[in-house]
Homo-oligomer: A and B are copies of this chain.
Amino acid sequence: MTDFDWTERFQGTAALPPAVRKRLNNTARVIHVKKGGQVFGPANIPDSLIFLYDGRIRVSQSSDSGREIVLYRVDAGESCVLTTACMLAEEAYNAEGIAETDITAIVLPKPAFDRLAAEEDAFRNFVFSAYSRRLIDLLRVVDDVAFGRIDVRLAERLLALGQGSKQVHATHQELASELGTAREVVSRVLNDFHKRELIEQSRGVITFKNKPGLAAIAESS
């Protein structure tokens, strides 16, 4: 049982009748995960739907050889359907969710999920659109990886991670994991960006010197 009303936070639950919301507050569980902690992974598949109340989760996939690629991020107010997907399809997969900040999440057990999906249109639509959203996200990842150039993708990602700020705090290795490439490749490209005076570098930090320039590269898809 939860000690605060989280249902107002989600599109799929805010519209529900008060009685249903009350019931939800009684059946769902709240979890907290520290920044950097694993929310779910190959060894830990919750048989529940996860609602992210606060914080951000990074969902990535890793290869046998140790490389890694970020698939998408789950923001507060969204739900993470991948776990339920993997639950249904009993296949091996190696995606994991890492808390990118300290997070607060609501765990809704499968029976409650089923009942809600059956009874409430708003909730069902919310779940369907969550699935859709992730499908689209993955289409984008496939497109990028299969057809995109590394410099374009890196410029794009740097700007996305920068988000208004003048700096990005990330090691080359972390950036490589974002794109599913190798650290050396990121080093090379960043070096090139530096030579073109688009960025400054120091250990673990990248400072924008010419955002429009980077944006131009990012656009040149």
Chain A residues engaging chain B, CB cutoff 8 angstroms: 61, 63-65, 67, 69, 71, 81-82, 84-89, 91, 93-95, 114, 117-118, 121, 124, 128-129, 131-136, 138-139, 141-143, 145-147, 180, 221
**When the two chains form their complex, are residues B93 and A147 in contact, meaning their CB atoms are under 8 A apart?**
no
Alpha-carbon gap, A86 to B131, bound state (A): 10
Residues of B within 8 A of A84 (CB): 128, 132
Using A118-B121, A146-B180, A147-B67 as known contacts, say yes or no to A138 and B138 having CB atoms under 8 A apart.
yes
Residues of B within 8 A of A180 (CB): 142, 146-147
**When the two chains form their complex, are residues B136 and A85 in contact, meaning their CB atoms are under 8 A apart?**
yes
Alpha-carbon gap, A132 to B129, bound state (A): 13
Residues of B within 8 A of A85 (CB): 131-132, 135-136
Please list 6 pairs of residues, one from A and one from B, whose beta carbons are closer than 8 Å in the complex, sorted by A's number.
A89-B133, A118-B118, A128-B131, A131-B135, A142-B142, A142-B180
**When the two chains form their complex, are residues A141 and B143 in contact, meaning their CB atoms are under 8 A apart?**
no
Using A118-B118, A121-B118, A124-B117 as known contacts, say yes or no to A138 and B142 having CB atoms under 8 A apart.
yes
**When the two chains form their complex, are residues A65 and B147 in contact, meaning their CB atoms are under 8 A apart?**
yes
**When the two chains form their complex, are residues A128 and B63 in contact, meaning their CB atoms are under 8 A apart?**
no
Alpha-carbon gap, A216 to B143, bound state (A): 29
Instruction: Out of B128, B129, B135, B142, name the residue touching A135 (CB < 8 Å).
Output: B135
Residues of B within 8 A of A91 (CB): 136
Using A135-B138, A138-B139 as known contacts, say yes or no to A146 and B63 having CB atoms under 8 A apart.
yes
Shortest Cβ distance from residue A49 to the other chain B in the assembled complex, whole angstroms:
11
Residues of B within 8 A of A118 (CB): 118, 121, 124
